[in-house]
Amino acid sequence: MSPRRDRPAKPALSREWIIDVTLDVMAREGLRKATMRRVAQEVDTGPASLYVYFRNTAELHAAVIDELLGRMTMPADGPWQPRLEQLVTDYMQLLARNPGLARSALVIRPSGPNLLLLVERLMSLLVEGGADPARAGHGADLLLLTATAAAAEHAVPEDGDADAGTDESSKQAAIVVAIRGADPERTPLIALHGEHLLADTPEDHWRWYLRAQIAGILAIAPVKDER
Amino acid sequence: MSPRRDRPAKPALSREWIIDVTLDVMAREGLRKATMRRVAQEVDTGPASLYVYFRNTAELHAAVIDELLGRMTMPADGPWQPRLEQLVTDYMQLLARNPGLARSALVIRPSGPNLLLLVERLMSLLVEGGADPARAGHGADLLLLTATAAAAEHAVPEDGDADAGTDESSKQAAIVVAIRGADPERTPLIALHGEHLLADTPEDHWRWYLRAQIAGILAIAPVKDER
DNA sequence: ACCTGAACACCGTTCAAGT
DNA sequence: ACCTGAACACCGTTCAAGT
């Protein structure tokens, strides 16, 4: 009669369970709270137990990212460019939704099976758009890099991420002040054209990044060829 | 006779001194060790004292980045494109040299006076290259974003950054294994062209990123214009 | 104002021992 | 093998009190 019946026997620990619980804590309280100790507590054990499945925190985060990637739906048929933009934007938003995940992604360089599949799709869309297949991999890489970085920036500050501006994010506010207060002597171009940076929405901004990069990827030749 | 003469009187705390000491600890042991507690100890006080000058750790890091930016030398005269590439590469390397700094830069969005000056220079070089002045700010933004992200990736793992692969960085190794082991059925393009990704050096890779982005920035029109 | 010791509420990771 | 409590060596930040 050791396992009580009213409280079902504790399920066996497993990679999957740990990842699920981590995702859960993350959704509720942000990645910053999804620590080894906290997750361990949530699965009702000591922190040491997790180290049987993940060598360290970074590896746990990598697993979480690949899990999320697996849930991403690929855009339907249509012209290559909107599909490409959609795919990269989805990836960006996936990371931006869980602030801190993007930061992790930059450090750990995910390379799980689902990431490979995403890269394959990006490459195929770029090739459809006319890219040199030999360089499509670089193009995909660049798009993912920018998406990750943009997500890390966009990222909603977590509760008390040392960023509790009164009404607006003080991070944004600092930039606005810096641009508006630009000295026309020292920084004439910013003084003249800075408003353009503040004028459009983050979405417009992101779309411009995307378009510029796609245009560049399609236009540029391999670096090696020169000299 | 309260201040002993053999041990000079403790200098008064100041923003500058704290930044200098932080830079010092960073250079010797990496940003990860440059904690509030550690820096406080180095200036021989309790951690609480630093909070008189910096509201939190992120603010200290931002100050450190702007200080480093101030020490950056601007490239000499010459054609705009090499100068532009040099400038962005310098910024990337400045961040890559202190692993973790790049990660901080993404989160805190530096906007100090020295960053503004860098943006101004980038804008002016882009305009020299033929960019629409109204969009040069976006271009500079994109270049800095990529530089920061690339630096965060490149970044040499700090001593025991949970990344002590036997001989090579295990992070890199994981990608190599993933690409080499790509399934030709599931990911045919990677299987076919993946070697290109492994073939060139990080420097070539970076230069390609730069060229692609510059080409794109010069080619693309404002997003707003469509529809 | 500026400065501080002490405390609060946490971390990641490893060890030695258990099953 | 898998699992774990306890320990080690840290964190950021705030408080209440001092000068």
pLDDT in tens, A102-118: 888 888 878 888 999 99
Q: What is the DSSP letter of B143?
A: H
Contact: A188, B56; criterion CB under 8 Å: no
H runs (alpha helix) in chain B:
15-29, 36-42, 57-70, 80-97, 101-108, 113-128, 133-154, 170-180, 188-199, 202-219
Chain A residues lying within 8 Å of B146, measured CB to CB: 142, 145-146, 149
> In this complex, which of B56, B103, B115 lies closest to A162 when CB atoms are compared?
B56
- Residue contact B106–A174, C-beta within 8 A: no
Query: Measuring CA to CA, how many Å separate A1 from each of A4, A8, A13, A200, B150?
Result: 7, 12, 22, 66, 58
Contacts of B106 in chain A (CB under 8 A): 103, 106, 149, 152-153
- Identify the burial level of A21 via C-beta atoms within 10 angstroms of its C-beta, where 0-12 means exposed, 13-18 middle and 19 or more buried: middle
B52 touches strand D (CB under 7 A): no
- CB contact under 8 Å between B209 and A145, yes or no, is yes
Q: How many residues make up chain A in this entry?
A: 227
pLDDT < 50 regions, chain B: 1-8, 159-168, 225-227
The answer to whether A208 CB is within 7 Å of strand D is no
What pLDDT does residue B137 have? 94
The owner of tokens 């250079």 is: B27
Question: How far away is chain B from the Cα of A64, in angstroms, using its nearest Cα?
Answer: 16
Residues in Cβ contact with A223 at an 8 Å cutoff, skipping those fewer than 6 apart = B200, B204, B207, B208, B211
C1’ D13 / CA A69, Å: 35
Would you state the structure tokens that stand for residue A219, as one six-digit string? 């236009």
Structure tokens at B76: 């000499």
Query: Taking the model in full, what pTM does it have?
Result: 0.88
**CB distance A102 to A96 below 8 Å:** yes
Q: How many residues are recorded in chain B?
A: 227
Predicted confidence pLDDT, tens digits, chain A (227 residues): 333 333 445 678 899 999 999 999 999 888 889 999 999 999 999 999 999 999 999 899 999 999 999 999 887 789 999 999 999 999 999 998 876 788 888 888 788 889 999 999 999 999 999 999 999 999 999 999 999 999 988 765 554 444 433 334 556 667 888 888 889 999 999 999 998 888 888 899 999 999 999 999 999 866 554 44
For B80, phi then psi, to 5°, come to -60, -40
* Chain A, window 31-50: residues with a beta carbon less than 8 angstroms from a chain B beta carbon: none
**What was the pLDDT predicted at A60?**
94
> How far does the CA of residue B18 sit from the closest CA of chain A (Å)?
20
Residue nearest to nucleotide C1 (CA to C1'): B52
Given this model, what pLDDT does residue B156 score?
A: 56
SS3 content of chain A, % helix, strand, coil (to 5): 70, 0, 30
B224: nearest CA partner in chain A: A204
pLDDT single digits (tens) B85-122? 999 999 999 998 876 788 888 878 788 889 999 999 99
